Amino acid sequence: MLEVSHLSKTYGSNADATPAVGDISFKVARSEFVCIVGPSGCGKTTLLKMLCGLLEPTSGEIVLSGRRVTEPPEEMALVFQDYSRSLYPWMKVGQNIAFPLLRNKSLSKSERRERVEQAVEAVGLIGFIDKYPWQLSGGMQQRVAIARGLAYQPEILLMDEPFASVDAQTRADLEDLVLRVRHEYGVTVLFVTHDIDESVYLADRVIILSARPTTVQEELEIDLPRPRNQVTTKELPEFARLRAHVYRAIKRPGEVAEEATPVPEVSAKSS
Q: Tell me whether residue 41 or residue 100 sits nearer to ligand ADP (CB atom).
A: 41
Going by C-alpha positions, the residue among 44, 51, 55, 54 that lies closest to residue 5 is 51
The nearest distance, CB 65 to Mg ion, in angstroms, is: 26
DSSP string, the chain: -EEEEEEEEEES-GGG-EEEEEEEEEEE-TT-EEEEE--TTSSHHHHHHHHTTSS--SEEEEEETTEE-SS--TTEEEE-S-HHHHS-TTS-HHHHHHGGGGG-TTS-HHHHHHHHHHHHHHTT-TT-TTS-GGGS-HHHHHHHHHHHHHHT--SEEEEESTTTTS-HHHHHHHHHHHHHHHHHHT-EEEEEESBHHHHHHH-SEEEEE-SSSEEEEEEEE----SS--TTHHHHSHHHHHHHHHHHHHHHS--TT--S--PPP--B----
The nearest distance, CB 262 to ligand ADP, in angstroms, is: 12
Question: Is there binding between residue 165 and Mg ion (CB under 5 A)?
Answer: no
Stretch that binds Mg ion, among 26-34, 43-51, 72-80, 163-171 (CB under 5 A): 43-51
The nearest distance, CB 83 to Mg ion, in angstroms, is: 14
Going by C-alpha positions, the residue among 154, 126, 153 that lies closest to residue 140 is 126
Question: Is there binding between residue 43 and ligand ADP (CB under 6 A)?
Answer: yes
Question: Is there binding between residue 20 and ligand ADP (CB under 6 A)?
Answer: yes
42 binds, among Mg ion, ligand ADP, none (CB under 5 to 8 A by kind): ligand ADP
The nearest distance, CB 111 to ligand ADP, in angstroms, is: 36
Q: Tell me whether residue 44 or residue 205 sits nearer to Mg ion (CB atom).
A: 44
Half-sphere exposure of 263 (CA within 13 A, CB side): 7
Question: Is there binding between residue 44 and ligand ADP (CB under 6 A)?
Answer: yes
93 binds, among ligand ADP, Mg ion, none (CB under 5 to 8 A by kind): none
Applying CB under 6 A, among 28, 42, 62, 157 the residue interacting with ligand ADP is 42
Phi–psi pair at 160, nearest 5 degrees: -105, 100
Question: Is there binding between residue 45 and Mg ion (CB under 5 A)?
Answer: yes
Question: Is there binding between residue 41 and ligand ADP (CB under 6 A)?
Answer: yes
Q: Tell me whether residue 46 or residue 129 sits nearer to Mg ion (CB atom).
A: 46
x/- track of binding to ligand ADP for residues 115-144 (CB under 6 A): ------------------------------
Q: Tell me whether residue 155 or residue 195 sits nearer to ligand ADP (CB atom).
A: 195
The nearest distance, CB 214 to ligand ADP, in angstroms, is: 8
Residues that bind Mg ion (CB under 5 A): 44-45
Residues that bind ligand ADP (CB under 6 A): 11-12, 18, 20, 38, 40-46
